[in-house]
Amino acid sequence: MATAAAGGRRRRVLFFPLPYQGHINPMFQLAGLLHARGFSITVFHARFNAPDASAHPAYDFVSVPDDGMPADSPDTVQATMDHILAVNRACEAPFRERLAALLERQRARAEDVACLVADSHLLTLLGVARGLGVPTLALRMGSAACFRCLTAFPMLCDKGYLPVQESSQLDAPVVELPPYRICDLPSSAAAHGQLREVLSRVVTAVTTSSGLILDTFDALEADELAALRRNLAVPVFDVGPLHKLSPAASSSLLRQDRGCLDWLDGQPPASVLYVSFGSLASVSASDLVETAWGIANSGRPFLWVLRPGLVRGAPPSSISLPDGFDAATRGRGVVVSWAPQEEVLAHPAVGGFWTHCGWNSTLEGVCAGVPMLCRPFFGDQMGNARYVDHVWRTGVTIDGELQRGKVEAAISTLMGAGEPGAGMRRRALELKNSAAASIGEAGSSSVNVDMLVSLIQSM
Ligand code: UDX
């Protein structure tokens, strides 16, 4: 096993996460992994969505002022693009100042800085580090397939696939990029230019760094990873599933309601539908109503995460469910504002996962061997759903307008006895086993972690 002590010097690895839950989690898991291999850790972070330093007493934290950042979490493609560019802009000068000061201090110690691992959305900050002589690695949050899609983005625009228009034939295949269909591509008609710029910055962040780190594993995306390795000049480290490999403490920004685990303890095996749409997506009031009645009419036990701010136009702290929902589901379900998701998915009572298909949730569902009901919202989520229902065939997608009848039918397909649900559950279990094998001794991700540690040691 490669460790930081291999060269006899203590090395420090710097991290800079993008300040959203889905990006903070894998960054901390990677930090946990490298810390366990003997590296010292410093986490630079924006003040927006700042991580809880007290949960990670072994790390140093450096808060970087982000004056001028919008105060609210983004919930649309356009707002997310604005936010990402704003983090880069706002943190550039203060990060340069703080990193230079840290390097100065390190020179006086018997420790040196090996590299910066930053989110691939932080191109400006990766450039700042290299300008000060610090090598960089880019952690790309998302699948290998999604990153391939980003590298193909200019071609997809040139060929007229993007931006997706009202007149586009949504289910037409993207012949250059199977298994994507036009509707699976990340697109925004309203903010196309900005999306193109932000995604091209991601690709540049990767190609100008010394390596690309992906939270995925070879058995899940063998062809996609092979294609990336053929086309990229930098090494690719697929080191996932990070949440299984890493001893990281929780990096949840919201308090997780652990009481739901006790409730799950009392439910029959594989009986409960777990419903969660991640940290950014928001739904309309009418979709909330259809979701609620679809769940109620399914007749199955459920655990539903209603995150503050989930419903557009509703007060963030109080989401009301439709009249009659409580009575219709009494004793059969639990609603929480935030759950310990990894533990929920790993609980034997959970038999299905209704997800927005953010990459963390998708991977967590894969590793738990739970079949998925996919309802993607934006960005990479449609592509992730396509892999779940078409490539891995471990779930179903609800397309088009959300209606309670569709929801009920999808839950019944996913969790009902017999086919096609039984096949989905069987394949989900096979994927769970290959995820476990990838992080076992000599597993593909374990080997890649060793190679990553050796690279960092040599930097
Ligand atoms: C964002 C993007 O929306 C997503 O498309 C991209 O792939 C990653 O960044 P997010 O929408 O938050 O992420 O979804 P996801 O990637 O699934 O991450 C959510 C994280 O929050 C997961 O690690 C999940 O375990 C955690 N979570 C979610 C909880 O801890 N509790 C909950 O109740 C719900």
The reply to whether 119 and 132 lie within a common domain is yes
Three-class DSSP category at 27: helix
**What is the arithmetic mean of pLDDT over 68-93?**
88
Same domain assignment for residues 203 and 291? no
Residue written as token pair 């996460």: 17
Whether 427 is covered by a domain: the verdict is yes
CB 379 within 8 A of CB 145: no
For residue 313, give the 3-state DSSP assignment. Answer: coil
Q: What is the pLDDT of residue 247?
A: 66
In angstroms, the Cα distances linking 382 to 86, 153, 375 are 25, 15, 8
Residue nearest to atom 25 of ligand 1 (CA): 341
Residues 308 and 395 in one domain: yes
Asked if residue 285 and residue 226 are part of one domain, the reply reads no
Residue minimizing CA distance to atom 6 of ligand 1: 358
Q: Which residues pair with 353 in a beta bridge?
A: 274, 372
Same domain, 269 and 232: no
Centre of ligand 1 from the C-alpha of residue 7, in Å: 37
Domain membership flag for residue 252 = no
Number of H helices and E strands in the chain, helices first, is 17, 13
Cα distance between residue 456 and residue 448, in whole Å: 12
Q: Are both 125 and 264 inside the same structural domain? A: no
> Atom 20 in ligand 1: which residue has the minimum CA distance?
22
Could you give the number of structural domains in the chain? 2
Is residue 218 located within the same domain as residue 298? Answer: no
What pLDDT was estimated at residue 69?
Answer: 83
Which atom, in ligand 1's list, is nearest to the CA of 359? 7
pTM more than 0.75 = yes
Atom of ligand 1 minimally distant from the CA of 355: 17
What whole-number distance in Å separates Cα of residue 87 and Cα of residue 71? 11
231 and 278: one domain?
no
pLDDT at 438 over 60: yes
Residue nearest to atom 1 of ligand 1 (CA): 22
Pocket test for ligand 1, best of 303, 360, 362, 384 (most atoms within 8 A of CB): 360
- Residue 60 domain-assigned? yes
The string of pLDDT tens digits covering residues 267-307 is 999 999 999 999 988 999 999 999 999 999 999 999 999 99
pLDDT of residue 110 exceeding 90:
no
Same structural domain, 30 and 90: yes
52: in domain: yes
| Of 283, 361, 388, best ligand 1 pocket probe by most atoms within 8 Å of the beta carbon | 361
Do 148 and 210 lie in a common domain? Answer: yes
User: Domain with 102 in it: what CATH number?
Assistant: 3.40.50.2000
Q: What is the pLDDT of residue 418?
A: 92
pLDDT (tens digit per residue) in 414-435: 999 999 999 999 999 999 999 9
Q: Which residues line ligand 1 (CB under 6 A)?
A: 20-23, 25, 141-142, 252, 256, 276, 278-281, 305, 338-339, 341-342, 358-361, 364, 379-381
Annotation says 23 is catalytic:
yes
Looking from the CA of residue 337, the nearest atom of ligand 1 is: 33
| CA of 278 relative to ligand 1 center, distance in Å | 4
Percentage of the residues of the chain whose pLDDT score is greater than 90: 87
For range 328-354, the mean pLDDT: 97
Q: Give the integer Cα–Cα distance in Å for 390 and 427.
A: 12
Tell the burial category of 313 from Cβ atoms under 10 Å away from its Cβ (0-12, 13-18, 19+). exposed
Residue 23 forms part of a structural domain? yes
Res 6: pLDDT = 44
Supply 340's token pair.
């310990």
Query: What range defines the domain where residue 358 resides?
Result: 259-436
Q: For 163-181, what is each residue's pLDDT tens digit?
A: 998 888 999 999 999 999 9
CA atoms in the 13 A half-sphere facing the CB of 100: 9
- 394, 429: one domain: yes
1 belongs to a structural domain? no
Q: 1 Cβ partners below 8 Å, 6+ apart? A: 37, 450
Residue nearest to atom 13 of ligand 1 (CA): 22
- According to DSSP, the residues that pair with 354 across neighbouring strands are 275, 373
pLDDT(9) > 70: no
Q: Within this chain, do residues 422 and 454 fall inside the same structural domain, yes or no?
A: no
Q: Count Cα neighbours of 22 within 13 Å in the Cβ-side half-sphere.
A: 25
Catalytic residue status for 390: no
In a domain, 245, yes or no: no
The 8-class DSSP code of residue 73 comes to P
Which residue of the set 66, 119, 215, 389 is catalytic? 119
Assign 133 a pLDDT band (cuts: 50, 70, 90). Answer: very high
Of 29, 76, 19, the residue nearest 51 (C-alpha): 19
Q: 382-425 pLDDT, tens per residue?
A: 999 999 999 999 999 999 999 999 999 999 999 999 999 999 99
Classify residue 209: in a domain, yes or no: yes
